[in-house]
Each structure stands twice: as C-alpha cells, then as structure tokens.
C-alpha cells in the first residue's frame, strides 16, 4: 500500500511525459532517432568502422530539424464544433475549424484536442479492476500500472484521434475532422487544442497550444428494447387537465357551456354563444384521464459495475417509451429525492437522459424517497423499477408502490447466478449480458 501511494505521482508524470514525446515526433522522426542511437553505439570505435560518420550525419540532421521548427510557427486560430450530446461507447465525429490569420498558406498541419486528464485516486484504484486483469502476469498485477492507465483513460472519459488539417488558404479556414469515442457517461471536459506544424524534413513537430475550454455531455449507453415489450397501465385522472398537459388524453372537446364567472380565463370564452346571448359564456372541459408512467432508478446499491448497467437499462426503457402519448416520470434519489417529468407541456426525454448521465450511487437513506413515491403513486398509471439486486431497500421500495395498487414491471440487474430470491414476474438481467436479456422480454 505504501509503495502504491508513493508511486501514484510518478505514474502521473510518466504518462504526461510519454504523451508529450509522442506528439513532438513523427513516425519518420522516431525511426531516424532509433537509427542514430544504433549508429552511435556501433561506431564508438572509430578505428574499427566508419559508422560514426553516418551517426554524425543523422545527428546533425536531427539537430537542424529540431531548430528549424523554432524559426516560425503558423499564425492561426481554432474553433471547436461539438455536438450537443454523445453516447457512451458510440464513436462520433466533430469538427475543429483552423482559421488562417497570417499572410501565407499553411500546409501539413495537425490538430490534437486535449481533454482534461483525470488520474484515479488510491481508493478508486483499490476498488476497481481492469477488465481482463487476471490474464496479466503476477508482476503486472502487483505493480498495477496497467490498471492505473485504464482508470485514467476511463476518468478522462474520451478517446481522441489526431486529425490532419487540409491546406489553409490565405484569409480562409479549413475543417479538421476529429474521431472520438466516449468511454463513459457524464461530462467530458476539454481544456485546450494543440496545432502541430512540421519541420522541413517532417521529423519533428512544433506545437502551438490554444486555450479552448468546453464540455460535452455523454449520455448513458443504451440497449435495443424489442417492440413486443409493452407496458402501459390504466388511465388515471391528472390534476390540471388540459392546462397542464396540452390536451393529452381521451378528448380535448368541451362538455358544456355556462355563464362567465369572475376569474375565468378569457381564452375559455365561447364568442359565438356570447354574441347571441349578449353576455359572456365560457366553455367547460371534462377532467382529463391519461397514461402517466413512472420509471424508478435504484441508486441504493454498492456495486459500481451493476449500477452502470442499471443506468443503461433505465435509459433504454426511457427511449423505448418516448413516443407514447402520455407522461413519463423519472424518479431517483441523489442528494435528495427527485422526479423529472417528460411529455408534452413538460420536460423532454433528453433532459431525463442528462440527469441519468450524471447520476451516482447515493449514501442517503431511502426513507425520504419512499415517502415521496408513496404520495406520488396515486397519480401513476404504471411503474417500471430498475433495481440493483433485491435487498431490503429495494423490497421496501417495491412494496410501497404495489400497496397503492399500481401495476409494476421490475427489472433486476445482478452479477449473481442465484435466482431463488426473485419473484417469477421479475425480469432478471445479468450484468455483462444485458442486451440478450432484454431481447428475451
């Protein structure tokens, strides 16, 4: 333990140095450096061979190439064009505009986007395991450097490829296409963008870095849900009727006319009848009954791997229910109980997905959350629960909903093989094999 505590700062510095070195040298330059080193080692004895002459030539070439990139740097500026959202594990492309502010055409440029590097802390290092770590040799498992690299990439949240820039004409701009793959959900932070320009031999790159801070929201990974899976429940009365739901329900026609009373909104006046009777007459609407589902996400577990699958399954169900003519309540516990409602007249599904993207396991007690759901259950037509196991908190949560007479569909995410503790009507999904489990619904 003490060794790893001392090694952590060293590992961070080593990865930073390696990253900078790889940026400054081209493949051709690294090959020439290797050849120079070999010639230097072989030509130590100048009486035995003339390899030292080749060493001198290669060495001088490297020095000249290195000095030449200091002579000039491109006079450009950059602008990043990120999409609004990305999805964890799904590759995408975005653009970086390189704008020529100088007096010459800029050629052979490259751009590197720099996300914020977030190394793991010791607690995360001890808690999590690299996938396939058991296949590494005993020394690598004891040292843990490969696990450190994997966690640092995961925390950073995105993998980016270097992008070539087309020739940038005078007073013009060119677009570099950056290929990116989000590695996790949540926010990914960008700190800067680096423009690389080569020396005349193409051996080394000079670097110009631009402060370019921005962030990208990465939505949770989603699985396809088969169309045959249907869950609706009955229609319930919703307080506010048409006003709160933009006429979602069985009818948007009025049921009768009556005389105007103080406080009635002007938009309810029936002008034709008012003109005939020469006094204000208003339309009276029926109460609205429509489907209002709830999706409850369990944040009371203690397994980060299972919790990530809980989030993915919840996001998949949200997208599957998106086009239903009704309301969907996303219910979860973070620092406090929260309900986000999506539907016409309310928030959009994308806002619910944003909330899922940043949701973490909570250390709060479930009592406040259960109390909120007990009160909210009277408005539910049906309820989907995505649970990380089925221990006491989850059992109490389910009992609270079912005791109110609400129809439920329960998805239990587990990494165990024992199903004897689950009810027959539960949908049990194995972590690591979620897609196959959903397709069997």
Show me where the domains of the chain are located: 2-219, 252-285, 292-439
High-pLDDT (> 70) share of the chain, %: 88
Average pLDDT over residues 146-168: 92
List, for residues 392-432, the tens digit of each pLDDT value.
888 888 999 999 888 899 999 988 766 556 888 899 999 88
Q: So what's the pLDDT on residue 288?
A: 55
DSSP class of residue 168 equals B
Q: Which pLDDT does position 245 carry in this prediction?
A: 46
List phi, psi (to 5°) of 378.
-65, -15
In this structure, are residues 387 and 411 in contact, taking their beta carbons and an 8 Å threshold? Answer: yes
DSSP one-letter code for 204: B
Same fold, 2-219 and 292-439: no
Distance of CA 152 to the CA centre of its chain: 16
Whether the Cβ atoms of residue 385 and residue 296 lie closer than 8 Å to each other: yes
Mean pLDDT of the chain: 84
CA distances from 308 to 264, 304, 370 (A): 50, 6, 22
For residues 380 and 191, which has the higher predicted lDDT (pLDDT)? 191
Burial 393-423 (b: 16+ CB within 10 A, else e): bbeebbebbeeeebbbbbbbbbeeeeeeeee
Architecture (CATH level 2) of domain 2-219: Sandwich (2.60)
pLDDT in tens, 205-231: 888 999 999 999 999 999 998 877 777
Q: Which CATH number fits domain 292-439: 2.70.98.90, 3.10.20.30, 3.40.50.410, 3.30.10.20?
A: 3.40.50.410
Cα–Cα dist 294/356, whole Å: 15
């Amino acid at each position: 333990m003490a060794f790893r505590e001392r090694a952590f700062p060293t590992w961070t510095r080593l990865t930073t140095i390696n990253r900078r070195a790889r940026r400054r040298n081209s493949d051709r330059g690294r090959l020439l450096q290797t050849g120079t080193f070999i010639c230097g080692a072989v030509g130590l004895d100048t009486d035995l061979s003339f390899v030292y002459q080749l060493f001198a030539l290669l060495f001088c070439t490297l020095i000249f190439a290195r000095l030449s990139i200091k002579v000039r740097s491109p006079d450009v500026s950059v602008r990043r064009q990120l999409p609004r959202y990305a999805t964890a594990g799904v590759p995408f492309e975005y653009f970086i505009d390189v704008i020529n502010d100088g007096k010459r055409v800029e050629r052979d440029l490259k751009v590197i986007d720099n996300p914020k590097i977030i190394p793991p802390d010791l607690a995360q290092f001890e808690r999590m395991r690299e996938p396939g770590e058991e296949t590494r040799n005993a020394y690598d498992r004891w040292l843990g450097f490969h696990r450190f690299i994997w966690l640092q990439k995961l925390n950073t949240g995105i993998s980016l490829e270097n992008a070539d820039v087309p020739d940038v004409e005078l007073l013009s701009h060119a677009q570099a296409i950056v290929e990116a793959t989000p590695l996790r959900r949540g926010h990914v932070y960008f700190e800067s963008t680096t423009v690389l320009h080569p020396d005349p031999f193409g051996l080394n790159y000079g670097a110009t870095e631009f402060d370019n801070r921005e962030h990208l929201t990465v939505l949770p990974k989603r699985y396809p849900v088969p169309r045959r899976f249907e869950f609706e429940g009955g229609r319930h009365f919703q307080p506010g009727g048409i006003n709160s739901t933009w006429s979602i329900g069985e009818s948007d026609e009025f049921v009768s006319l009556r005389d105007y009373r103080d406080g009635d909104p002007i938009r309810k006046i029936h002008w034709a009848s008012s003109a005939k009777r020469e006094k204000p007459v208003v339309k009276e609407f029926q109460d609205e009954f429509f489907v209002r589902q709830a999706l409850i996400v369990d944040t009371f577990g203690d397994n980060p791997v299972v919790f990530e699958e809980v989030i993915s399954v919840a996001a998949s169900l949200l997208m599957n229910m998106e086009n239903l003519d009704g309301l969907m309540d996303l219910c979860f516990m973070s620092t406090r109980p929260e309900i986000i409602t999506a539907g016409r007249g309310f928030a959009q599904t994308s806002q619910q997905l944003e909330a899922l993207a940043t949701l973490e396991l909570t250390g709060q007690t479930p009592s406040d959350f259960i109390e909120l759901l007990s009160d909210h259950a009277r408005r539910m037509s049906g309820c989907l629960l995505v649970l990380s196991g089925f221990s006491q908190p989850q059992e109490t949560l389910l009992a609270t909903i079912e005791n109110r007479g609400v129809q439920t569909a329960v998805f239990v995410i587990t990494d165990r093989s024992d199903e004897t503790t689950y009810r027959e009507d539960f949908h049990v999904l194995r972590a690591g094999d979620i897609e196959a489990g959903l397709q069997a619904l």
